[in-house]
Amino acid sequence: MNRRAQENILAAVIASLFVGYLIVASGFGPNARLVPLPIAGIGLLCLLIQIVRQNREGGLERNTFGPLDLLIGKQATRSEAKTEPKAEHAPAPKARSAARELQAFGFVGIFVALIVVLGPVPAVFLFSAGYLAISKHYPLWKAVASAAAFAITVYLLFVVGLELQLYHGLLEPLVDRF
């Protein structure tokens, strides 16, 4: 079986999962389906774009790393994909190190601690602004603007859209005094 057929079979399986998810989520109540329907719809749209990209002429040759490689954890061999000039090859991914994994666990721990202490909306703002600024993905003003957009999105989705009462964190009694 050639590579294109393998990628299409995997895409069909994932598409059927998304369609099943859409069918199940459509049976939920109006507030309960506010989150799963857009997620499944966006996922299905991205998958359809991937199917079109990989089935165009030369689609797999230009992008030799597809969903199948991600699933099985390897790159395509040179016999499976047309060779490109050596100058365009990306460097091999770095091996996992214990320090990087501890750093990732630390980030997750900090985020969970912020949620417990401050609640989800301030935690999303502080964590995303801090991460984007410290990792130098964005300058400080862009990191703060992006973090504000993320926090506003969380607030609008859960408080306004779903009408949920969010957890206010352990510091809520101190804030109520002022």
> Domain residue spans in the chain?
3-88, 98-177
Per DSSP, the residues of 149-163 read HHHHHHHIIIIIIS-
CA 84 to chain centre: 29
More confident residue, 74 or 124: 124
Residue 115 has pLDDT above 50, yes or no: yes
Mean pLDDT computed over 58-71? 58
Give the pLDDT band (50/70/90) at residue 70: low
Task: Note the pLDDT of residue 145.
Answer: 93
Mean pLDDT computed over 31-40? 82
Continuous H helices in the chain: 3-26, 36-55, 59-62, 67-72, 98-118, 120-134, 140-155, 172-177
Residue 82 has pLDDT above 60, yes or no: no
3-class SS at 92?
A: coil
Angstrom distance (rounded) from CA 154 to CA 115: 13
Q: Per-residue pLDDT tens for 83-101?
A: 444 445 555 556 677 888 8
More confident residue, 59 or 28: 28
Task: Note the pLDDT of residue 51.
Answer: 86
Amino acid at 102: L
Task: Note the pLDDT of residue 151.
Answer: 92
pTM (2 d.p.): 0.51
- Length of the chain (residues): 178
